A = this chain, B = another copy of it.
């Protein structure tokens, strides 16, 4: 291992002390963060919806994206879908739906948006056809159920939806697929259809909002934090005096920062999805980003899996590409733990783990992905990771003391504006 912390207990203690002394007052630490926050406020959103793009190059109607709609708007959409189907029947063309094709061949990467978009292309789903009769029936049934949900203003999970008519749906993948078809067909997000994902994320820090009418103050949520609500449309009146959002991969790091009330010294909102991000946490992050126009700094493990997690937050998953505009948060800054931090912060050799073959494969695949390639600094970090073959968890910083993360590492990173 390199650096001063190599030789003995004493030199480690001296190193920690030296590092700790580098941390200046909060005002100084936050200098670069403030600049970043100002920028984020000035340029809140890069070209991110199709409407922002050059209309001659991307004429309207070429692509299909969905938007959040309130319950009444969804009711209208459902009713007009049924009305149109009735008109087709009356015109003698039979009962059929026009369903968007969501297959891979229709997914295109748009450079200006830096994400995948669904090409506009629909196919008929006629009831009077042996190949699509079942699908048309299931579509009709789910339209009816969505209508009921929106009329009653209640939310259910995909699993609940499946169980309302097991005889018809047969297995959950069928009702799930058609639910996504429907969202796409009605032009609204799956959450707007009042079908939600179960949440596992938590939030704490300089944030207050109303959830289903209840006032929530995330500065006063103890150490456990507030569970991120599964239904984003019940969140309103978001306000905050934070300078940035700190996105944390693991709940151990979240707990450390929450217990140390990191957000009191460095005004921020701390979010974690406890590993792989779920839809509710992604929607919540995006909503915060849009409403508060704050920069997002990410703290993940220094391994390919940490980058994978960032990619889900930033680019979304293939399966829900029609909803990428609402689910993804572009422009997340990679604060740490970065491969170059391992030497810079003298992470002891025994806290670094050798990458497995699987890690190396994942890492090499990531190098080819657009979201990495569009940022040369990220490429350099990933190449460093692959060339050293070393990875490290956020917890590796505990080798310098339990509070090194909150009292030294993060303040130093912020103070130096060390994000990419």
Contact = CB atoms under 8 A, between A and B. Distances in A.
A122 interface: no
Given A156-B256, A252-B159, A274-B200, A166 B224 contact: no
Contacts of A231: 223, 259
Interface stretch (A58-66, A207-215, A334-342, A409-417): A207-215
Label chain A's interface by main secondary structure.
mixed
A351 B159 CA distance: 12
A224 B230 contact: yes
Give the most central of A202, A222, A228, A399: most B CB within 10 Å.
A222
B163 A251 contact: no
Interface in A218-243: 220-231, 234-235
Contacts of A198: 251-252, 255, 274
A208 to B, nearest CB: 12
Contact of A200 (B148, B163, B200, B212): B200
Contact of A255 (B222, B230, B393, B401): B230
Given A156-B402, A348-B166, A214 B220 contact: yes
B221 A216 contact: yes
A160 B228 contact: no
A157 interface: yes
A72 interface: no
A403 interface: yes
A348 B165 CA distance: 10
Contacts of A181: none
A99 B159 CA distance: 49
Interface in A129-174: 148-149, 152, 154-157, 159-167
Contacts of A162: 395
A260 interface: yes
A235 B221 CA distance: 12
B222 A216 contact: yes
A390 to B, nearest CB: 14
A396 interface: yes
A393 B227 CA distance: 24
Contact of A230 (B214, B223, B348): B223
A166 B212 contact: no
Contacts of A202: 227
Contacts of A8: none
Interface of A: 148-149, 152, 154-157, 159-167, 196, 198-200, 202, 211-216, 220-231, 234-235, 251-252, 255-256, 259-260, 274, 348, 350-351, 393, 395-399, 401-403
| CB-CB nearest 4 A-B residue pairs | A211-B222, A224-B229, A214-B220, A163-B398
25 contacts: A148-B402, A149-B402, A152-B403, A155-B259, A156-B252, A156-B256, A160-B256, A160-B402, A163-B396, A163-B397, A163-B399, A164-B399, A164-B401, A164-B402, A166-B348, A166-B351, A198-B252, A198-B274, A199-B224, A211-B223, A212-B259, A214-B220, A216-B221, A216-B222, A221-B226
Given A154-B259, A156-B402, 15 more contacts: A161-B398, A163-B351, A163-B393, A163-B398, A164-B399, A164-B401, A166-B350, A166-B399, A211-B222, A211-B223, A214-B220, A216-B221, A222-B235, A224-B228, A230-B255
